[in-house]
Amino acid sequence: MTAIANPFDFTGKVVVITGGSRGLGHAMALGFARAGARLAIASRKIDSCEATVAEIRALGSDASAHAIHVGKWADCDRLAAEAYARWGRVDVLINNAGLSPVAPSSLQTPEELFDKVMAVNLKGPFRLTALFGERMAAGEGGAIINISSISAIQPSPDTAPYAAAKAGLNILTVASAKEYGPKVRVNCIMCGAFHTDISKSWSRTEFFTHRARENFALQRGGEPDEIVGAALYLASPAASYTTGAVLTIDGGAAYPKAAHSAD
């Protein structure tokens, strides 16, 4: 690898982000825009995508809006076709869209809900990685980033299908890195609890705040912008020797304070 003056300059690069209009996806979209990238913002609601596109353009970059359901194979195919038709290239794919409903018990989890959780969190990223990974590998290369969850290694009964899907996404990361290397790097960010517009119903509660203080090394939830640096790194030449990695960003929740206390 030759020295690069600014490895985090994404001028001229194209980044596709699913679930890019809300939550962590939105934060990453704005972060890449500030770094000079052009973006394809995808989610189910076109109005939300277009609003994010307007924010990106206000930052001096450009973007396109795409209404797709990640859990549907045909929609994944359409996103790839639209992104390449609009931009002519894709340098980075971020599989961020996710779904984590709570069920009262495994027995009371409807088949339709189980299938939907698996489709959005695992089937969609699998298909999109295949579509974009093949074209990147045949061209100038690229980077793919999967957004997972610490539920993959700390599952709870009320979100078991979600945890299983995210564990599968971690495995998919490693398999895809082997399949599409050496020109395409595939990595994963395994997220803990973040304060976003999606999590506001629970992440700002007194219960969560107390739990974080007792069990997280940093004693708080994350702010959306705190994922941006990791995404920029994994997408950049600075991570040229990093692939198949699962990077945990959870404020130390994977190693709770109680685990290090004296007997």
Q: Which residues are catalytic?
A: 162
Q: Which neighbouring-strand residues pair with 93?
A: 16, 144
Give CA–CA dist 99/117, Å, rounded: 6
Q: Are residues 57 and 51 in contact, defined by beta-carbon separation less than 8 angstroms?
A: no
For 35, how many CA atoms within 13 A lie in the half-sphere containing its CB? 23
Q: Which neighbouring-strand residues pair with 188?
A: 146, 246
Of the candidates 129, 237, 128, the residue with the CA atom closest to the CA atom of residue 186? 129
- The order of strands in the sheet holding 63-67 is 63-67, 38-43, 14-18, 92-95, 142-149, 184-191, 246-249
Of the candidates 260, 198, 242, 232, the residue with the CA atom closest to the CA atom of residue 15? 232
**Full DSSP string of 145-204:** EEEEEGGGTS--GGGHHHHHHHHHHHHHHHHHHHHHTTTEEEEEEEE--B--TTTHHHHT
For 86, how many CA atoms within 13 A lie in the half-sphere containing its CB? 19
**How many residues are recorded in the chain?**
263
